[in-house]
Structure 1
Amino acid sequence: MNTHKNARLTPYLRREACRRVAAGAKVAQVARDLAVSRQTIYAWLERPHDVETRSSRPHRSPTRIPRRWRRQIRKRRGQRWSSRRIAQHYGIPLSTVGRELRRLGLGRLPRVDGPRRIVRYERDRPGELVHLDIKKLARISRVGHRIHGDYTRRTHGRGWEFVHVAIDDHTRLAYVEVLPEETAEAAAGFLARAVAWYAALGITVERVLTDNGSCYRALPFGEQALALGIGQRFTRPYRPQTNGKAERFIRTLITEWAYNRAYARSGWRTRALAHYLSFYNTERRHSALGNTTPAMRLAQHLSTTC
């Protein structure tokens, strides 16, 4: 068996215990020093040259299914037989077949056509495509069960806050607001403020990509995009991967900001957002950007176009 490298009673210490006893030390004293029983020391003394940890696996397993059945289970699974079909064909209990398949690592059949090919893309210039999305967060009135661990002290009926996010496809520069609603009017207002924020950085937003949420499909949002001269694109239904940059940013945002510490009030969490966004845009490096920050990616693009 494999012994942990930092285990307290490694084979070396066991040999050392045998050496100390052979040198005249008392068994009781050696056992006390190693925090083991005297019987353990005596067991090591009976085999001083074989003190490795032995496997507890028995030499024989009379109740285990015959080897020929195990070969047939592997063979039929390779032919994509189900567990129930194998059990019925050979008269073996279904639980036995399932246990053997898990032991072989064949508990789940792979897809016939293999894994789906992931198509990655990145726009050539800032503002060519901006991803929009919304994440719903519960309002905070006190420290919740995620922190104190007492599930009997849950808080109900405090309502929700909606985190509207915008992230540029080329630079990953992000703009975020926490709003009390996710209506079309709220999304339209967020779009106008996000476009103004990007414009202050020298980025002209050309089109936005959203999911098929009602606030993005509604007329006020479309009118706002038209007034700003921005094209609107929608993801394929039930395919959130199409808007993957926004989805991944939300996951990062939730992990590193919303659930990063115990906020006593929702307002405290909202006030911490500005500091985190500054860190994300100017200090946090991205492997997808060649280990640079979004601000550095924007600076690189501006230096090559000027």
Structure 2
Amino acid sequence: MSHANAALTVRARLRLARLIVEDRWSPARAAERYDVSWRTAKKWADRYRAEGEAGLHDRSSRPHRQPHRTPTPLVRKILHLRRKRRLGPVPIADQLGLAASTVHAVLTRHQANRLSHLDRTTGEAIRRYEHAQPGDMLHVDVKKLGNVPDGGGWRYLGRQQGRKNRAATAGAERSKYRNPVLGTAFVHTVIDDHSRVAYAEIHDDETAITATGVLRRAVAWFADRGVSTRRVLTDNGSAYKSHLWRDTCTELGIVVKKTRPYRPQTNGKIERFHRTLADGWAFAKLYTSEKARRAALPAFLHDYNHHRPHTAIGKIPPITRLNNLAGHHI
């Protein structure tokens, strides 16, 4: 695409070049017709003769040689200080005797200008991946949430009123310190790596029996939408290390994958979905009971899958990445 102030678009260049090459106009006459210099008209005509229409597109303005570019050994020192010590452009420039703008340019060129682009543990640039087809990999995990007391929780009502509501909630158990215990909601979540389509169920535990039941239903749910599951990625939780999980995956024809220990970034897509789940559903508004919050989950999932633009896949809803879903793009 031409820049905003270009005198000629690609189509106008083609018409200009044809006037000179095919209709035998002089460059000066054609230039006058299109209100450009004769040198510009001759340039596009020469490119058209040599390369055809392909030669009329914009080219990079980057020079072929950059004799004053920062030497490679110095670049390595800059990146080392950035990744190992998390220094910014000004401290790095002070240590190496360079201009801060030079250091910033090097960091930008190597995608290290923002610390969020670097892995917190290793300092290396974050490597992102995406499987080519829906079903190539399902990410599975559990999000734990404290149950909401009757009347609402402390996040919206404050800690004093929240404690009163917890104490007044029917059926609340008591800890050994006589504090009311409402229990935990275990949200079993499944994300397709390619499309980011999500499936979730809420249970009162995270045992192997519950986890395998969720997996069977999730695989069937994706199959109804034309997705065949080939791999599943989980952390090293006890449910996912069980023989039941292994045997269930074998029965379903799914290859089992595990994340590296203490490396939640390996399962980063579902970890990021949990943040969206918390902001868009779990803590999005005041729920006056756990039943009300659980009843709101299907509506959130439908909005997430069918309507919410996902920035990681080009600002389109995840469901649109499933290629054989006639009637589902609503």
1:184-239 Cα distance to aligned partner (Å, 9 max, x none): 11000000000000000000000100001111001111111111010110000111
Q: Does 1:262 align with 2:270?
A: no
- Matched to 2:130, the amino acid is E
Counterpart position of 2:217? 193
Counterpart position of 1:150? 159
- Matched to 1:296, the amino acid is T
- What aligned pairs does 1:1-306 form with structure 2 within 5 A after superposition? 115-142=123-150, 143-151=152-160, 153-154=162-163, 155=166, 156-299=180-323
Counterpart of 2:181 in 1: which secondary structure? coil
Counterpart position of 2:53? none
CA contact (8 A) 1:125 1:301 kept: no
1:118-147 Cα distance to aligned partner (Å, 9 max, x none): 000000000000000001111122211111
Change (3 A) 1:144 1:201: same
Counterpart position of 1:58? none
CA distance in 1, matches of 2:197, 2:314: 15
CA distance in 2, matches of 1:264, 1:230: 40
- Matched to 1:246, the amino acid is I
Counterpart position of 1:13? none
CA contact (8 A) 2:188 2:201 kept: yes
- Matched to 1:261, the amino acid is K
Counterpart position of 1:71? none
CA distance in 1, matches of 2:236, 2:122: 29
Change (3 A) 1:152 1:237: same
Aligned residues: 199
CA contact (8 A) 2:135 2:194 kept: yes
* TM-score w.r.t. length of structure 1: 0.60
Structure 1 unaligned runs (5+)?
A: 1-73, 80-110
Change (3 A) 1:181 1:146: same
CA distance in 2, matches of 1:301, 1:117: 36
Give the percent of matched residue pairs that are identical in Structure 1 and Structure 2.
Answer: 44
- Matched to 1:184, the amino acid is A
Counterpart of 1:214 in 2: which secondary structure? coil
- Matched to 2:147, the amino acid is R
CA contact (8 A) 1:281 1:293 kept: yes
Counterpart of 1:215 in 2: which secondary structure? coil
Change (3 A) 1:274 1:125: same
CA contact (8 A) 1:131 1:166 kept: yes
Alpha-carbon RMSD across the aligned residues, in angstroms, is 2.7
Structure 2 unaligned runs (5+)?
A: 1-89, 96-118, 167-179
CA distance in 2, matches of 1:214, 1:293: 33
Counterpart of 1:177 in 2: which secondary structure? strand
- Matched to 1:136, the amino acid is K
CA contact (8 A) 2:225 2:324 kept: no
CA contact (8 A) 1:182 1:215 kept: yes
Counterpart position of 2:4? none
1:44-93 Cα distance to aligned partner (Å, 9 max, x none): xxxxxxxxxxxxxxxxxxxxxxxxxxxxxx99xx67xxxxxxxxxxxxxx
CA distance in 1, matches of 2:122, 2:292: 47
